[in-house]
């Protein structure tokens, strides 16, 4: 089994090779504006998972996924030629969910900011239901001690 450092280096090489191939050699008209965001290789160097994003709508994402799936053999062959290891890893393309998750988080943060602003506006003129400071202080404790000593 290969060490994780070697798998990381191999994944970085594969990411660069695939990005260059998509830019120059793969001429599929279905392929949209694809960005390779990450590549990961298993510890035994047998499987490479390549994460990508596509700029565009859902149809362009589907077309790009189809184009990448059909070009995976050519891409694997080129990866094998350029990395020069005994066994060429299989190549699997997976759409990266980071942009969707980031958009979802941004939406949640906007909602929270709006609620915080509403709460701040509602509490601007509010007063305390009881005392402003409901906790006992040292002066209160001294007073109770003095009362307790008189009873004995």
DSSP notation for 91-133? EEEEE--HHHHHHHHHHHHHHHHHHHHHHHHHTTT---SS-S-
Q: Does the pLDDT of residue 129 top 60, yes or no?
A: yes
User: What digits encode the pLDDT tens for the residues 11-42?
Assistant: 999 999 999 988 888 887 788 788 899 999 99
Range of weakest confidence among 26-35, 78-87, 116-125, 142-151? 142-151
């Amino acid at each position: 089994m290969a060490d994780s450092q070697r798998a990381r280096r191999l994944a970085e090489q594969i990411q660069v090779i695939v990005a260059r191939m998509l830019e120059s050699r793969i001429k599929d008209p279905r392929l949209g504006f694809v960005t390779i965001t990450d590549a990961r290789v298993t510890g035994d160097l047998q499987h490479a998972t390549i994460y990508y994003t596509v700029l565009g709508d859902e149809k362009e994402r589907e077309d790009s996924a189809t184009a990448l799936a059909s070009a995976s053999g050519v891409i694997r062959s080129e990866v094998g030629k350029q990395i020069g290891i005994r066994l060429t890893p299989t190549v699997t393309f997976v759409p990266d969910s980071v942009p969707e998750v980031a958009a979802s988080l941004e939406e949640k943060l906007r909602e929270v900011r709006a609620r915080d602003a509403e709460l701040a506006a509602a509490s601007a003129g509010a007063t305390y239901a009881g005392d402003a400071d409901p906790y006992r202080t040292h002066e209160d404790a001294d007073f109770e001690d003095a009362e307790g000593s008189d009873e004995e």
